[in-house]
Amino acid sequence: MSVSVKICGITTPEQALMVQQAGADALGLVMYRNSSRYVGLQQAIAVRAVIASDVLCVVLLVNADKEFVKQVIAEVKPDLLQFHGDETAEFCQQFDFPYIRALRMHDDLDIGVEAKAYKSAQSLLFDAWHPQQYGGTGERFDWQRLPRERGFNLILAGGLTPDNVAAAVAAVMPDMVDVSGGVESAPGIKDPIKVRDFIQRAKASN
């Protein structure tokens, strides 16, 4: 079965329709104000309205307060939340809602310990470490740090592009690849050709 593809940082309904037509399996909406791909509540609802039932809608949050998380669940109605900040396992679990836990690959990250702590997560997403940024850096990390044998769904992110996604899939064998900046012409503006090439190359590579 080919790898699934998530296109993150969707900012308009038009982008959402374009990436779905290109074959994306999941779309990510960034509801984090410090991101150049930030969408507010009403815009997120508008984008959500055009996402097909067979495509996953994922809302990315970074250190959001509990009440805002509940509001997102109630009003945006995503399929999954993606906790991309410093959220504890207890925080992520309290909503009784499917979630992805993003882990940024700093040097002393113990993947086994994290996988055990977040065993209730639907998937673990691995992204590059940056001391000032929670994702969206466009930077890669050493894919060899990721285990080939594992007991969790693995999403690979961090610096992926149409040019390197096939090698990434071959090296890591992830369940899903996640891209944002690597398919953009400018922050928050997805490039249709890059999106199409990324999806085709990812899915042809395994």
Average pLDDT for the chain: 92
pLDDT of 193 reads 98
Percentage of residues in the chain having pLDDT higher than 90 = 78
pLDDT of 135 reads 52
Under a CB-based contact definition with an 8 Å cutoff, are residues 150 and 131 in contact? no
Which of the pair, 139 or 122, is modelled with greater confidence?
122
Which of the four pLDDT bands, split at 50, 70 and 90, describes residue 141?
confident
Residue 47, both tokens: 């984008």
Look up the domain containing 26 and give its range. 4-204
The CATH number linked to 200 is 3.20.20.70
Q: Are strands 154-156 and 123-127 parallel, antiparallel or unpaired?
A: parallel
- pLDDT above 60 for 133: no
Longest dimension (CA), the chain: 42
- Give tens-digit pLDDT for 15-48: 999 999 999 999 999 999 999 899 999 999 999 9
Which of the four pLDDT bands, split at 50, 70 and 90, describes residue 201?
very high
- pLDDT above 80 for 136: no
Taking residues 82-91, what's their average pLDDT? 94
pTM of the entire structure?
0.93
- pLDDT above 80 for 72: yes
pLDDT of 197 reads 98
Number of domains, the chain: 1
* Long-range contacts, stretch 68-75, CB < 8 angstroms, 24+ apart: 69/95, 70/95, 71/41, 72/31, 72/41, 72/44, 73/97, 75/41, 75/45
pLDDT of 147 reads 85
State whether residue 6 is helix, strand or coil: strand
Q: Mind telling me the catalytic residues?
A: 8, 127
Taking residues 144-161, what's their average pLDDT? 90
